[in-house]
Structure 1
């Protein structure tokens, strides 16, 4: 399995699992991530991340231009990096989110490493 497909599989599944978790069991989610008052917001974010994850995973099964999933994956990671570090370091959310931020940095670095081959592959067609 090449790096592109591996990244899609790992980030897609990670995003899907973290999206579904608060929808299925908000209590265990809050045990791991800290108490929250706006449960509706947590569930809304989870619901919105499901199509993001499924879109990423769909690129494992379709042969098409890969640039849209590069944009989706890398910018989703960048958004979570910003949120996780800003709010965890300002004591708004639990420090457990720093771990997610590190995982998102790994995803983003991998997307950026793939950027040039993805762009070159498309321009050579």
Structure 2
């Protein structure tokens, strides 16, 4: 894979992650009952909705950058994925949230590893 192709794949990874963030972000706004059924009970639904809106906003940023072939927000991508991954792991392990959140953690980890591999590949001639 040449470097321009690597950039296109990286852009597609951000496009996928953006779509994932938008879909999962608006889910509680469109159907809190189904969201709670899938993820477990919540005390502060307003907070769930706020995190959802932030997630959707970040997702839209990823989608727009990818579709417009703009510089990808790598720092935002890493920091958001690491934040979700950390919270998923910490709070599943402590029993605060259900194990279903490990699926989200896995998606975040795949994003982190894939982006890291593509960035390294793009900046080097190792592959």
Q: TM-score, normalised by structure 1?
A: 0.86
| Structure 1 residue runs of 4 or more that deviate by more than 4 Å after TM superposition | none
Q: 2:110 maps to which residue?
A: 106
Structure 2 residues without counterparts, runs of 5 or longer: none
State the secondary structure of the residue aligned to 1:59. Answer: helix
Does the 8 A contact of 1:16 with 1:53 survive in 2? yes
Aligned length: 118
| Greater relative contact order (CA < 8 Å, ≥ 6 in sequence) | 2
Match of 2:42 among 31, 36, 42: 36
In 1, Cα distance between equivalents of 2:70 and 2:26: 27
Unaligned runs of 5+ in 1: none
How far apart are the structure 2 equivalents of 1:70 and 1:15?
15
Q: TM-score, normalised by structure 2?
A: 0.85
Q: Distance in 1 between matches of 2:71 and 2:13?
A: 16
- 2 CA distance for matches of 1:65 and 1:94? 36
Distance apart, 1:115 and its partner CA: 2.4
